[in-house]
Amino acid sequence: MDIIISNSSDTPIYLQIAEAIRYSIISGGLKEGDVLPSIRSLAKELSVSVITTKKAYEVLEGQGYIKTHQGRGSVVSARSASLAREHRLSELEQHLLEAADIARELNISAEEFAETARRLYDIE
């Protein structure tokens, strides 16, 4: 669980945690059936309130990534990997759609747009 949280970010901490865990799932660090750290131990590790980690887990549970059981902690649920991948794909599409909107607004052609996309992909 190497999660880095930023207090200055404008995405709330509980979402930063949830996304870090989702990333762990997608990148294979966490697999189906794996047990997540307890909300209390994670809270201590990240120096945040228990409520914050709990909320992160609630979000993930609401989206079907994990299952939580009283007294037994939380485990990564089946289908979580494919769920996470779908989620990221739709985010990618969302970004491209917004970018395309702007491109049309600025009279940038489809070719130029695709070209720019390609170029920015290679940058980093």
Q: Where along the sequence are the contacts to DNA (CB under 7 A)? A: 12-15, 36, 38-41, 47-52, 54-55, 57, 68-74
Closest CB 99 distance from DNA, rounded Å: 22
Binding-site partner at residue 41 among a second copy, DNA, none, CB < 5 to 8 Å by type: DNA
Cα separation, 8 vs 16, in Å, equals 12
Binding-site partner at residue 48 among DNA, a second copy, none, CB < 5 to 8 Å by type: DNA
Q: Which tokens hold the place of 60?
A: 């993930």
Applying CB under 8 A, the residues found at the interface with a second copy are 7-8, 12, 23, 26-27, 62, 67, 69-70, 72, 85, 88-89, 91-93, 95-106, 108, 110-111, 113-118, 120-124
Q: Distance from CA of residue 44 to its chain's centroid? A: 21
Closest CB 45 distance from DNA, rounded Å: 11
What's the sign of the alpha-carbon dihedral 81, 86, 87, 92? positive
Cα separation, 76 vs 60, in Å, equals 10
Which residues face 67 on adjacent strands? 75
Binding-site partner at residue 59 among DNA, a second copy, none, CB < 5 to 8 Å by type: none
Closest CB 40 distance from DNA, rounded Å: 4
With b for 16 or more beta-carbon neighbours within 10 A and e for fewer, the 42-57 pattern comes to: bbeebebeeebbbbbb
